[in-house]
Every structure is written in C-alpha cells, then in structure tokens.
Amino acid sequence: MGRLKIASFNVKDNLRNYLMGGTRKKGQQSNAEVLSSLVKKENFDLLGTQEMTVRYANRLKKQLPDYRFFGGYRLGNGVFRYLPQNESNLIFSKYKVISDETIPLPFVPSFLRDFLLSLRRGALIPRIVTCLMVEISKENYLWVINTHLDYLIKEVQQRQLNVLRSFISALSAYYPIVLMGDFNMELNDSLFSSFVSFLTQHGMKRVPIQGSTWKNKMLDYLFVPQNWKIEQYGILKNKEIYPLSDHFPIYVEVSYPSS
C-alpha cells in the first residue's frame, strides 16, 4: 500500500494582497511565507489551489523548492499575465508529472438576463480546470483534477459540470482519479448532488468532511477512488490560516493499492 496526503485550498489572492505583494501588516510574514510554512508543516504530497495569481505563485516557488507547480491561467500567459484577475487552479506536486493540461470551461450565460446579472455581480470571468497525470509509484499513475466553478448562474454551473463529466467518463475506466476544488455549491444543491451520484457510478467517493469552508457553507470538496482507504481528513482551521483567505483548506490522507 502507498500513502498520500492531498489538500485543496482557495487562497483568494485578492487585489489588496496582490498590490501589496502579499504582505499583510507591517512586521508580519507575507501570505506566501505563511502558506509555504503550512505546506511544509502538513507535508502535502499534492495540493490544489484556486485563485492563485502569477505573482503569488512566483513567491511560493522560492519558498517551496521541493514542489513543482502546474497549471495555466484564466487569461493566459501573455499580455494579461500579471493582472490580478488572471488566476489559476495551480497544483503543487512532489511527484513526477507525466502530462498536464488546463481546460477552459464554459462561463458565458446563454440567456441575456443571466448574462447581465453575471456581469453586474462580477461573475462573468473565465473558468478553468487543471488536470495532471502523476506517477505516484513505479508505473502507478493517477489523474488529479482541480477546478473552481461559477458561483451564480445555475445554467453555467451545469455546463461546467458536464465538461467534468465528459473528462472523468473518458478516464475513469483506465486510471484512478482525484478530484478537488471550490465547486461553489453545497451538497443539498440538486445539480451538485446529481454530480456526486455520477462520480459514485464512476468509481469515486467524496471525502466525508463536515463543517464549513467558506463562512457557514461547505463549498470545497475532495473526491478519491472508492478502493482507496481514507485514513484521516478534515478542515484546517487555525489562527495562521484565516488571514490568508476567506476559505479554509481541506485535506485527506489515504492509503492506495500498490498496483
């Protein structure tokens, strides 16, 4: 049996943090220093992040030399590279990555009323999913999928979930899959509960984390293969973490078959 520790965290690199270079109050550590200390302390093997900007990632790379970072950005790596809105679903990995890709998700509402509402509420932004094939042991491969979905328009959420369905359907017959991210839906949401049922039918299970990750809601999730044993899981809530974001990170420790 092998073991992995996996986590997901919406880091929320907001505009103030971005313009201040990630520094909070005078004399305090930068967000990158606090987050890198957390990663080292918890010794994650794989960490999926959401709302990670280029500047934040560059600071973290200096702090975490044992990790490699994978994932493209919403607005690409060209002229808009350093805009604070150019966020990624970056994945940190201690393991060898065989391939990676960033897939765009539909984000423009189909109906004018929803389009105007999304524009007015600041929800009309590109959404993406980051996918890695990771070699977790000799000739033992895992697909890691990390995403951050729309929070406002149900029709857009449905289309985004459909893209994830297609990708998972194509992979699940051949590889174990770990899915993580900020789904911006609760378990009692009919769209999301239907998606969770789909994952169950394709050999995956939800890590049964209880509590809230954003205010009083559970919006962040981890899913692992059904034949993996869940050893520990939870939400990391301590005084060092909360200033980093309005979300809390979630994690799971698992044992997986060696073949």
Q: Can you give the pLDDT of all 259 residues of the chain as single tens digits? A: 899 999 999 998 655 555 544 544 444 567 888 899 999 999 999 999 999 999 899 999 999 999 999 999 999 888 888 888 899 999 999 999 999 999 999 999 999 999 999 999 989 999 999 999 999 988 889 999 999 999 999 999 999 999 999 999 999 999 999 999 999 999 999 999 999 999 999 999 999 999 999 999 999 999 999 999 999 999 999 777 777 888 999 999 999 987 6
Both tokens assigned to 182: 């900020």
Contact 42, 7 (CB under 8 A): yes
Nearest to 157 by CA among 103, 89, 221, 107: 107
Displacement of CA 38 from its chain's centroid (Å): 16
What are the DSSP calls for 33-71, one per residue? HHHHHHHHHHT-SEEEEESB-HHHHHHHHHH-TT-EEE-
- Burial pattern 168-192, b for ≥16 Cβ within 10 A else e, equals beebbeeebbbbbbbbbbeeeeeeb
- Helix (H, G, I), strand (E, B), or coil: what is residue 26? coil
CATH of residue 206's domain is 3.60.10.10
Q: Which helix (H) or strand (E) holds 162?
A: helix 154-171
Range of the domain at 20: 2-256
Count of domains forming the chain: 1
Asked if 71 and 101 touch (Cβ cutoff 8 Å), the reply is: no
DSSP state of 77: S
Distance CA 24, CA 34 (A): 11
Longest dimension (CA), the chain: 53
Q: Does residue 2 contact residue 140 with C-beta atoms inside 8 Å?
A: yes
